[in-house]
Amino acid sequence: MKDTAAFEARFLAEHQRSVRMRRWRGIALNILGVLLFLAVWEIIPRLGFANPVLFPPPSKVLEAALPMLGSGEIPWNILVSLGRAGSGFLIAAVLGVAIGVATARAPVIRDLVEPLLHGFRSVPVIALVPVSVLWFGIGEGAKVALVATGAFFPIWINSFIGVRDVHEIYLRSAACLGANRWQTLRYVVLPASLPFIIAGLRQGIAIALIVLVAAELAGARAGVAYMMSMGHQLFRVDIMFAGLVILGFLGFAGDRLFVALCRKLFPWYRPSA
Amino acid sequence: MPLISIEHVSHLYVGTGGTPSWALRDVSLGLERGRFTCLVGPSGCGKTTLLQLIAGFLKPTAGSVQLDGKPISGPGPDRSVVFQEYALFAWFTVRQNVEFGLRVAGMKAAERRKRSDDLLAMIGMSHAADRYPHELSGGMRQRVAVARALAIHPQVVLMDEPFAAVDALTRATLQEELLRLWQQLGLSIVFITHNVDEAVFLADDVVVMSAHPGSIQEIMTIDMPHPRDRGSPEFARWYARINAALHQDPKRKEAA
């Protein structure tokens, strides 16, 4: 019996070690991938494959970005952009989920809006930017509204599909256990459609960033894309690249944060990576 | 008065090709309180339709379905259903699933907890109270589904091939456990199966149904005491009788 205990302890230690190993190896490979990308990027202009002024290597981009980081210019622009994207996304999330659920739950409304919805989903939101500038000008409100509009559609559509396709057996279970309409919505329909809602929200984050850039490029006095358009006018490709890196990082960080939040809030649901 | 009375019930649906099909044709049946009734029959015999009419998921095209003398107008907690599978709420733990009906009925948390503790102990799942359905085996999931249906103290438990998706060994265990619960709690159960062995092992009354149109062919009352021995000659006789009824040629039946 003592033998068994020792054997199990050894097995467990070995198992935990291999799990830890795998995790660290994963992280190391993630970092290695980024480093490899940076290395290739650094080498290409240096080998003469590209004009270093038009295609600055990361070292030059960093060189340009450091003073702007120190002066607070970059952090301020990030903050402004995040404020716009965040508030627009939040509005879109609340409206998109609410309207998605409402339109999918009532059969009359569902049939009424379904063709419209499939029409809207195929219109790229960026096509709305010029119209929005005409309607709302280039003020803060207009940009937030535009981001909200862009992020709203994927959230609405996914919530709609998720709620429409909740498995009949869940609804019947709830009904025969005595749940009323409101309880069914809260305890069954919403959680059951959560995978779709989450997919919509994730798509919404990505689209919010795209629309944000389009809106800022159309005219702004601050923001990451504004910074890039200034770089464009000054022929400072390094500043434009710095903007690209920041946007890439914001998108990545936003998505990671979202996935982490989902893990925490919905332990029974596993969003894929 | 029977607990559930089904009187001259027909149920039509539009089949492929747009022609009306009879899922059930002029079916009458009375189900008594405290009895274990099995509905057996080939696919298309309307056994699931009949169960769904009692559950209130469907309305009869003609005729009436009554519970305790009152017509059934929709699903409700006096008739809980155990489905074949995938009916546990994936976002709730075992305990939350079992307590669901009590929660929506507004029962206080402490009281709920006591009842779910009792039920989980009864089905031997106390250790898994905080697990999610995806962490359970098929047999464990169906135990929880049964507990969830029993928690609200329904007048009748409707079971739609609840053990069809689990392996044979687990199924035998689940059948024994269900019989124990039925005796211990004095339940009334309507149980669909296409498995003759299951019907002979479980049922007081076996309703043999036939297809095209869905109708009742024969009702048999098995008066063997529980626990029933699958190896006994009596068991074999009942098995043969039900099997014969199921495989009876409808044309010959008409001639007879």
Can you list the domains of chain B with their CATH numbers?
Answer: 4-78+158-255 (3.40.50.300), 88-153 (no CATH)
A217 touches chain B (CB under 8 A): no
Contact call for residues B140 and B125 (beta carbons, < 8 A): yes
Select from A176, A266, A268 the Cβ nearest to the Cβ of B55.
A176
Yes or no, beta carbons of A173 and B89 under 8 Å apart: yes
Q: Are residues A128 and A247 in the same domain?
A: yes
* Structural domain range at position A25: 1-50
Do both A105 and A190 map to the same domain? yes
Q: How many CB pairs under 8 A join A and B?
A: 73
**For B98, which residue in chain A has the nearest alpha carbon?**
A177
Q: Of chain A residues 128-187, which have a CB less than 8 A from chain B? A: 167, 169-170, 172-180, 183, 187
Do residues A16 and A125 share a domain?
Answer: no
For residue A91, being part of any structural domain is answered with yes
Give the relative orientation of helices A73-105 and A58-70 as an angle to the nearest 10 degrees: 100
Find the helix or strand (DSSP H, E) in which B26 lies: strand B20-31
- C-beta separation of A143 from A88 below 8 A: yes
| Residue B256 pLDDT | 42
Residue A151 in contact with residue A205, Cβ under 8 Å?
yes
Is A272 contained in some domain? Answer: no
A148 and A166 assigned to the same domain: yes
**Which residues in B lie closer than 8 A to residue A167 (C-beta atoms)?**
86
With 0-12 / 13-18 / 19 or more C-beta atoms within 10 angstroms meaning exposed / middle / buried, residue B152 is buried
| Separation of alpha carbons A125 and A153, rounded Å | 9
Question: How much is the pLDDT for B185?
Answer: 93
Let me know if residue A247 belongs to a domain: yes
Q: How do residues A93-118 score in pLDDT, each as one tens digit?
A: 999 999 999 999 888 988 888 888 88
**pLDDT reported for residue A110:** 85
The whole-number pLDDT of residue B255 equals: 44
Residue contact A173–B152, C-beta within 8 A: no
Residue A72 and residue A43 in one domain: no
CA distance B225 to chain A (A): 32
State the Cα–Cα distance between residues A123 and A211, nearest whole angstrom: 13
Same domain for A39 and A128? Answer: no
Give the pLDDT of chain B (256 residues) as one tens digit per residue: 899 999 999 999 988 888 888 999 999 999 999 999 999 999 889 999 999 999 999 999 999 999 999 999 999 999 999 999 889 999 999 999 999 999 999 999 999 999 999 999 999 999 999 999 999 999 999 999 999 999 999 999 999 999 999 999 999 999 999 999 999 999 999 999 989 999 999 999 999 999 888 999 999 999 999 999 999 999 999 999 999 999 875 544 554 4
Q: What CA–CA distances, in Å, run from A271 to A8, A30, A196, A265, B22?
A: 33, 19, 10, 12, 44
> Are A176 and B56 within 8 A, CB to CB?
yes
A270 located within any domain: no
Q: Provide DSSP, A48-105.
A: TSS-TTTS--HHHHHHHHHHHHHTTHHHHHHHHHHHHHHHHHHHHHHHHHHHHHHHHH
From chain A, pick out residues whose CB is under 8 angstroms from the CB of B156: none
Q: Tell me, what's the pLDDT at B52?
A: 96
Report chain A residues whose CB lies below 8 A from the CB of B81. 172-173, 176
CB contacts, 8 Å: A172 with chain B: 55, 57, 75, 81, 83, 87
What is the tens place of the pLDDT at every residue in B196-221?
999 999 999 999 999 888 999 999 99
Distance from CA of A89 to the nearest CA of B (A): 26
What's the domain count of chain A? 2
| First-last CA distance in chain B | 32
Q: What ipTM is given for this predicted complex?
A: 0.90
Query: Is there a single domain that holds both residue A70 and residue A106?
Result: yes
Task: Quote helix, strand, coil % in chain B, to nearest 5.
Answer: 40, 25, 35
Of the three residues A33, A50, A67, the one that is the final residue of a domain is A50
Which residues of chain A fall below pLDDT 70? Answer: 1-2, 270-273
CA A168 remoteness from chain centre: 31
Q: Is position A166 within any domain?
A: yes
